[in-house]
Each structure stands twice: as C-alpha cells, then as structure tokens.
C-alpha cells in the first residue's frame, strides 16, 4: 500500500511513524509512506500557503493553488484523496478497513481555519474526522488514520488473529483479557479461562464482549442488541 501526506508540518511525522508496527510495515515493504511539505508547491519567495477569508472573519485559510498543484502531481489512477477535517465522516474501524483496501491514499492535512472550499468540491474524494474536538492541524489525525489502517495490512501484525479480535473489529469492544499470575491482590482470573475448554472460552469471550459493549458503548450495537444482559448471561467481576 502507498500513502502520501500533504502537511505544513512534516517533522511531526518523524517520530511516531518510525516506531512500532508502522515502522515494521515500512521495513517489510508492506507500506510505502511519503510525507510532503505543502510549501514545496508554492512559487513566491515567502512560500505563502494561506490568505484571509473573503467576507471577513478570524484566522486564515489554506489557499487552493498549492493544494491543487500538489494533488495533481501526486495523484494516480487509483489514488483516493482524503481531506482531514472536522466536517468529515467520523473515522471508525469500518473506515480503516475501507482505506486499507485502497492501493493509494493521499491525505491532506488541514491547518489554520481550514481549507478553501474548492479543495472539497474538486479534489477530495473523501473527508474524515477523528472526533468532535479541535486540534491545531491535521497532522495528528493523519497519523491516527495511518496507524489504524497499517494494522490491517496483511502481514503487518505478528499474530494474524490480532486485528480481527481487537475492539471495534466486530462492532463490539474487546472481551476482558488476563495473564499470569492466576490470582493478584485477591483478584482471580475467571475459571473458564483456565479450563482448557476452547468452545466454552469462545462462548464466554463473545458474551463478555457483548456485555461490555452494552454497558460502555451501546451506540455500537443494533437496537435489538443494546438491551440489558439476561440473568443467565455469564458475569465478569472485572467489568
């Protein structure tokens, strides 16, 4: 997979994307990542990328010219251009899976008060937001998108099942997990996990995932699934 990023702050990407799973995916050739400075597509001595909005108002907007030139020079036949901005659809695991199937993403990081609307109208194929809060620019959202979809690339994780069993992968939160010791400060690992009975363990995990999701994120469930747990449903003291 190939990802290009357009940003005013390329140095922000150096640390996070040179570590952990993203670094391993890059080293293995699973991910080709290039971060570009938007100012490289300006033509004045000051490398101007912003200007005041027509009609007045606070702040500055990113100008369309450098963004159009950059996208037109980087885009190929299979490129999916994504604008990172607060007006976009919410970035969820399903969107990460969708993006991971794309051969080439081009991420545009917004800055200042946003971008000229003509970027949305003519250039962007998609627009996503990582949440309802304000950040200084689109660099951090771009890193979130890159990290989330890199985990879904075949071979990126050491364990092939890891990505499929994590929270949100099945529209549920992940089930509770335990490791050694069996008992710690009076808290004991549920007996079913020590039983060696794989079918019972799978049933318990599915039940606990549903329970946890109902209690903490009922918005992830279909209406008929968001009802309170049944009396005979296994309980988990850690919830």
What is the tens place of the pLDDT at every residue in 65-120? 999 999 999 999 999 999 999 999 999 999 999 999 999 999 999 998 899 999 99
- Residue % of the chain over a pLDDT of 70: 88
Q: CATH assignment of 170-225, given 1.10.1270.20, 3.30.70.580, 1.20.1250.20, 1.10.8.870?
A: 1.10.1270.20
Indicate whether 36 pLDDT > 70.
yes
The rounded distance, in Å, linking the Cα atoms of 221 and 210 is 9
Residue 232: pLDDT band with limits 50, 70, 90: low
Q: For the packed helices 139-150 and 20-27, what is the interaxial angle rounded to 10 degrees?
A: 70
Indicate whether 50 pLDDT > 90.
yes
Q: What's the pLDDT at 222?
A: 79
Cis check: omega of the bond before 167, within 30 degrees of 0: no
Q: CATH assignment of 2-150, given 3.40.50.1100, 3.40.50.300, 3.40.309.10, 3.40.1280.10?
A: 3.40.1280.10
Indicate whether 157 pLDDT > 60.
yes
Candidate from 139-148, 153-162, 198-207 with smallest mean pLDDT: 153-162
> Do the Cβ atoms of 58 and 113 come closer than 8 Å?
yes
Q: What's the pLDDT at 111?
A: 92
Q: What's the pLDDT at 166?
A: 57
Q: What's the pLDDT at 239?
A: 44
15 φ, ψ (degrees, to nearest 5): -70, -60
Residue 223: pLDDT band with limits 50, 70, 90: confident
The rounded distance, in Å, linking the Cα atoms of 86 and 98 is 19
The rounded distance, in Å, linking the Cα atoms of 58 and 126 is 26
Model pTM?
0.84
Residue 170: pLDDT band with limits 50, 70, 90: low
Q: Give the residue carrying structure tokens 């989330």.
A: 148
Annotated domain spans of the chain: 2-150, 170-225
């Amino acid at each position: 997979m190939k990802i290009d990023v357009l940003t005013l702050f390329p140095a922000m990407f150096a640390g996070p994307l040179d570590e952990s799973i993203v670094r391993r995916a890059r080293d293995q050739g699973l991910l080709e990542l290039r971060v570009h400075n938007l100012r490289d597509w300006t033509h004045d001595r000051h490398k101007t990328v912003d200007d005041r909005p027509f009609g007045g108002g606070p702040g500055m907007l990113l100008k369309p010219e450098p963004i159009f030139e950059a996208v037109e020079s980087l885009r190929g036949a299979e490129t999916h251009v994504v604008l990172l901005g607060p007006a976009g659809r919410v970035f969820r695991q399903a969107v990460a899976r969708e993006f991971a199937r794309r051969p080439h993403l081009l991420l545009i990081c917004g800055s200042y008060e946003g971008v000229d609307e003509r970027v949305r109208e003519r250039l962007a194929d998609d627009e996503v937001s990582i949440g309802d809060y304000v950040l200084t620019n689109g660099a951090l959202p771009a890193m979130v998108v890159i990290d989330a979809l890199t985990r879904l690339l075949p071979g990126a994780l050491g364990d092939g099942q890891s990505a499929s069993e994590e929270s949100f992968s099945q529209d549920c939160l992940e089930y509770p997990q335990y490791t050694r010791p069996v008992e710690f400060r009076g808290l004991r690992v549920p007996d079913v996990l020590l039983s060696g009975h794989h079918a019972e363990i799978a049933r318990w995990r599915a039940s606990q995932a549903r329970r946890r999701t109902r209690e903490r994120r009922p918005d992830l469930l279909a209406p008929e699934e968001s009802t309170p747990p049944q009396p005979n449903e296994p309980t988990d003291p850690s919830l």
